[in-house]
A and B are shown apart, each in its own frame.
Chain A
Amino acid sequence: MALGESFESVLAAARVGADWAWEALYRDLAPLVHGYLRSRGCREPEDVVGEVFLAVARDLGSFTGGERSFRSWVLTVAHHRMLDQLRYQSRRPSEPVAGEVIAGTTARGAVGGTVGGNVEDEALQSLTTARIRTLVDRLAGDQRDVLLLRIIGGLTVTEVADALNKSPGAVKALQRRGLAAVKRLMERAVVPL
């Protein structure tokens, strides 16, 4: 849900701390940031979302550009926060929770509006979500970053390249190899959808 023409006025209000403007920005971008962080295995994704928006608020005065640039910038901030969080997690390992448990919980939260009350459909959706997660987890780190930023964040090749500090050519290669890896996994029925 993009802000469109109202983005400029919302951003101007956000610069001076209007609550309504920040709520609009948050509702537009927080699900993407939250999803990206979850997909990359952040242990406390909601907390990191808060840190991301705090950083954005503090540095908003230096931002210039349109809505797409803003979205790219926020996801870039989220990516860097995510890396910090993963480094922190690697120093403090914790007992992992089974993927199916998380998948079942998040599937209901993520697509609750579409699942409805059908238990069979919900179970099928949970199973599919779990398989998606398994596929994503099997990707190499760079491939996963590129595909998730492009799919979840909706960024272009150039924007992803800027966010990951890579060249557009490298991003194109990574996304192609990542999709090929997903296709191979599915074709071998390792992780069928």
Chain B
Amino acid sequence: MKDLPGLRDEDIDRLLSGKRPNADGFDDLAAFVQGVEAAYVAPPSPDATRRHVMAAAAAAREAAGGATAPAVAPRASAAPLVSRWRRRTVFGVSVATVTMSLTGIAITAAAATGGLAARGDLPAPIQRVVAQAASGVGITLPASDKPSGPSGPGTATPRGLPATSGASGSTHVASPAAAPTATNGRGRHDDSTESPAGAVAPTSSSAAGGDHHRGGGDGSQEGGSAATVATHGNCVVYAETIAAGLGFNDAQRSRFVSLVAQDETAVTVRVAAGTKPDAACQRSIDTATAAVSNTGPVPGGGDDHSGSGPSPTPSPAPTSSPTPGSDSGHSGVSGNASPTPTPSPSSGNHGGQGGGN
């Protein structure tokens, strides 16, 4: 301890804290310490103080993130800051909540309305408006003036898209445009290549026609009015069900179902297992069975379900031909049973009628 030998560490602590040390001879150092504090310690200017406080408080708020300001605010200037902060937080939560709520409501309403519109279950004026609006964007919906029941609406299908195959995979016999191809032995699961002209339904009517089986299928599976109301879709579904047990190959099976599908008079209530369809449906099935059996096996049939090339065999059910029902003497029934004015038996009104949902 060469420096200040008479001063202990404790004395230095006292000296540097502004107190007089216990040892003598260090008054000059005590004066120095007091002078240092007086010489340097001074607050910044009021203007700088104001700026620095505001900047520090703002930085702390930013660093605090979502924390809320303290409720205790001794200074009046703090109150507006607290209120503003809380308003911002509450407003942010409200916007998020309202947005999510509105989105949920919109989605629910759209889904419900869309489903009802597709099924034609909306009130007539609304259904008409919705159908017109949907047609503008390429979606075909049943018009309001079509009565439900046996000739109820089919499922909406966007224009230009292939008709979606139902669970029964019957799309290939649905569309009049696709029907010839179906009889040519196309694979029944190959929806996208059914027609040489493309499976894409070029018109809304054909698109709707492409859906009529699906509509029937839906009707048979969903229950509801289809279980008690005789629909064409129910008959087609029944035809598909029994087709496998008739000894037909795939091409024949497709043609068989296609013939039934084109017979508008073939209506029935939903056929439960072990029961028989209504007479109109049964007649159509008998006619179709006979027609397919008389024609014999179709060469080039797509037994492998792979959707092989088109068969050279001409289609027995061209789009311009009358329905098998009319050929087999059921035309009267067909004409009377269909309340929808149909310019062509194959104009795709099956779609509108086959829904039966």
CB distance from A113 to the nearest CB of B (A): 11
Residue with the highest number of chain B CB atoms closer than 10 Å, among A53, A106, A114: A53
Chain A contact residues, majority secondary structure: helix
A162–B183 CA distance with the chains assembled, in angstroms: 93
| Contact in complex: B52, A151 (CB < 8 Å) | no
Contact with A along B243-267 (1 / 0, CB 8 A): 0000000000000000000000000
| Contact in complex: A151, B59 (CB < 8 Å) | no
| Contact in complex: B40, A150 (CB < 8 Å) | no
| Contact in complex: A175, B81 (CB < 8 Å) | no
CB distance from B39 to the nearest CB of A (A): 4
Minimal Cβ-Cβ distance residue in B for A32 = B41
CB distance from A123 to the nearest CB of B (A): 15
B17 to chain A: which residues have CB within 8 Å?
A: 150, 154
A7 to chain B: which residues have CB within 8 Å?
A: none
Minimal Cβ-Cβ distance residue in A for B71 = A13
Minimal Cβ-Cβ distance residue in A for B5 = A180
A22 CB contact (under 8 Å) in B29, B44, B53: B53
A193–B45 CA distance with the chains assembled, in angstroms: 28
The contact size tier of chain B is 35 or more
Contact with B along A28-46 (1 / 0, CB 8 A): 0011101110110000011
Q: Is A140 an interface residue (CB 8 A)?
A: no
CB distance from A40 to the nearest CB of B (A): 9
CB distance from B1 to the nearest CB of A (A): 7
B78 CB contact (under 8 Å) in A20, A157, A179: A20
Given contacts A57-B59, A110-B41, contact A15 B64 (CB under 8 A): yes
Chain B contact residues, majority secondary structure: helix
| Contact in complex: A103, B52 (CB < 8 Å) | no
A38 to chain B: which residues have CB within 8 Å?
A: 40, 42
B36 CB contact (under 8 Å) in A49, A57, A59, A148: A148
Binds A, one of B8-16, B108-116, B216-224: B8-16
Contact with B along A95-132 (1 / 0, CB 8 A): 00000000100110111001000000000010011011
Minimal Cβ-Cβ distance residue in A for B44 = A46
Within 8 A of B (CB), among A12-68: 12-23, 25-27, 30-32, 34-36, 38-39, 45-46, 49-50, 53-54, 56-61
Q: Is B24 an interface residue (CB 8 A)?
A: no
Q: Is B72 an interface residue (CB 8 A)?
A: yes
CB distance from A148 to the nearest CB of B (A): 7
Top-4 shortest CB links A-B: A17-B61, A180-B3, A35-B40, A20-B75
Chain B contacts to A: CB under 8 angstroms: 1, 3-4, 7, 9, 12-13, 15-18, 26, 28-29, 31-33, 35-45, 48-49, 51-64, 67-70, 72-75, 77-78, 81-82
